[in-house]
Amino acid sequence: MPESFDVAIIGAGPGGYVAAIRCAQLGMNTVCIDEWKNTKGKASLGGTCLNVGCIPSKALLESSENFYQAKYKFSNHGVMVENVSADISVMIARKDKIVTTFTTGIASLFKKNKIKSLHGRGTLLKREPSADTWTIRVSDNGITEEIQAKYVILATGSNPRPLNFVPIDNEMVLDNSGALALTEVPKRLGVIGAGVIGLEMGSVWRRLGAEVIILEAMPGFLMAVDEQVAKEARNIFSKEPGLQIHTGINIQSIQALKKNVVVNYSDYSGQEQTLEVDKLIVAIGRVPNTAGLGVEDNGLLLDERGFVAVDQHCRTNLTNVYAVGDVVRGPMLAHKASEEGVAVAEMILHQEKNKTGENEAVDFNTVPWVIYTAPEIAWVGKNEQELKAAGIAYKVGQFPFIANGRARAIGETSGFIKVLADEKTDRVLGVHMIGPHVSELISEAVMAMKFSASSQDIACIVHAHPSLSEVFHEAALGVDKRALHI
């Protein structure tokens, strides 16, 4: 008789492992199945985010920024350091250690919460309409077992979108995994796609000395970001030595040779161009991972883009089967995946206890976005072009970091914060930031929006002096044209 659980979760990324912990906290007997293996062939929990995404990329961004600061910026503070050099093997080993600490940490969290962890590929088997549990086959290296569960949460994440012209070999042509594991700094690094991964990975290797050339298909730069922020970012990045960003390009062919990669493309004016680089990163988006889930047999509905089709409460078309994270619509972000995981765990409890009332749903309008470049870019809510398109009248308050004492003390004065508030009600509709440490500052804006604050509510809050958060305060004051220090 197969072992039986209240909830089975397929995938142990931030969507799946957080859902598992919350289900267990709520008293449900929970199993989490995950097939990830690290480069040493060992099972490693945490999915893309912990293994080859959020955590390792931020580790390398920090190391490379420290190197860059020591080499080029410390002298501005009168700190003279000679012969600064980067030891890439130490940086990569440090990054790997952080990853291992967190992935093994999840195994401990599972143990502590009495969550059963199974390694292998989970496939949801077809079930008779009369059956009241789902059967999941777990296969690893030819060994299979079956388990049963009343509820199933699919959290199988996403994979890099392939580029038709050239396969990823992670030697010459790299995806995010390869870009996080280079053993030396390439002299010339090409990047296809000026999205979040392209900019973050490009930043790492540029700071360490590579000449980085980014090729982007869209006619503009960061077109989903507030136009003014995107323009400021492009202005700042275009002054960075060793970084070129070409938009409006069209790839014609790519040849991965032994020692270099040759990219033929037409530029924004239609001129044929050839780019030769030592390595090429392909970062053109990610696609939902439904391979091996058993979609062909179990009747699980996918949407037209291949995501598992869900309603706003993450319910699939199959009874008691939910799906969360990158494998469903919405932002492909770790915190969105985790919040959906928690929401689904709570809903299952409601369902079990036959409670009526509101089902949980994640409000995408208050999910923050951060791009960890220097300066950082962060936003929440609607941008100006979205408000204009929706015909919503709004007021703008904006304040630059250059007028802030703390930013001057740190020596990072680029950028600004912009608050958009409803013209009639003054409710905050969106906050857009580019500048130092805005990945941390955005949380105050998220909280303001979550609690339906007005710009005047923020203006009434006392902010510590001198701190970067005063820029947010001044921007909120600016909505009513009463910013003080400008």
Identified binder of ligand FAD from the candidate list 30, 158, 298, 316, rule CB under 6 A: 158
| Helix/strand/coil percent split, the chain, to 5 | 35, 25, 40
Positions 135 through 194 that interact with ligand NAI (CB under 6 A): 163, 192-194
Long-range Cβ pairs for the range 299-306 (8 Å, 24+): 299/126, 300/124, 300/154, 303/329
Minimum CB separation of residue 35 from ligand NAI in Å reads 20
**Using CB under 6 A, which of the segments 76-84, 237-245, 279-287, 387-395 binds ligand NAI?**
279-287
Q: Which residue's entry shows tokens 């490693």?
A: 44
Q: Which is nearer to ligand FAD, 10 or 421 (CB)?
A: 10
Question: Any contact of residue 106 with ligand FAD (CB under 6 A)?
Answer: no
Under rule CB under 6 A, residue 334 binds ligand FAD: yes
How many angstroms separate the CA atoms of 367 and 380, rounded? Answer: 6
Buried b (16+ CB within 10 A) or exposed e, 364-379: eebbbbbbbbbbbbbb
Exposure string (b/e) for 37-49, b if CB count within 10 Å is 16 or more? eeeeeebbbbbbb
- What is the smallest separation between the CB atom of 174 and ligand FAD, expressed in angstroms? 11
**Which among 463, 465, 473, 485 is annotated as catalytic?**
465
Given a contact cutoff of 8 angstroms between Cβ atoms, the answer to whether 373 and 238 are in contact is no
CA distances from residue 213 to 176, 280, 454 in whole angstroms, order as listed: 17, 9, 42
- The rounded distance, in Å, linking the Cα atoms of 157 and 159 is 7
Q: Annotated catalytic, 473?
A: no
How many degrees, rounded to 5, is the angle at CA 246 between CA 244 and CA 252?
Answer: 125
Residue 333 interacts with ligand NAI (CB under 6 A): yes or no: yes
Residues 211-270 that bind ligand NAI (CB under 6 A): 215-218, 251
283 is an interface residue for ligand NAI by CB under 6 A: yes
Closest separation between CB of residue 408 and ligand FAD, Å? Answer: 28
Q: Which does 13 bind (CB under 5 to 8 A by kind): ligand NAI, ligand FAD, none?
A: ligand FAD
- The answer to whether 359 and 313 are in contact (CB under 8 A) is yes
Closer of 54 and 147 to ligand FAD (Cβ):
54
> Please, which residue, 162 or 219, has the CB nearer to ligand FAD?
162
Residues within window 57-86 making contact with ligand FAD, judged by CB under 6 A? 57
Residue 23 or 438: the one with the smaller Cβ distance to ligand NAI is: 438
Strands 30-34 and 116-119: parallel
Site for ligand FAD in 290-309 (CB under 6 A): 292-293
Q: Which of 122, 381, 400, 478 binds ligand FAD (CB under 6 A)?
A: 122
12 binds, among ligand NAI, ligand FAD, none (CB under 5 to 8 A by kind): ligand FAD
Separation between Cα atoms, residue 362 and residue 382, nearest integer Å: 16
14 binds ligand FAD (CB under 6 A): yes
As a whole number of angstroms, the distance between CA 309 and CA 328 comes to 7
In whole angstroms, what separates CA 380 from the centre of its chain?
14
| Catalytic residue IDs | 465
**Which spans of this chain sit near ligand FAD (rule: CB under 6 A)?**
10-16, 33-36, 47-49, 53-54, 57, 121-122, 155-158, 176, 197, 289, 292-293, 325-327, 332-335, 337
**Which spans of this chain sit near ligand NAI (rule: CB under 6 A)?**
163, 192-198, 200, 215-218, 251, 283-286, 331-333, 370-372
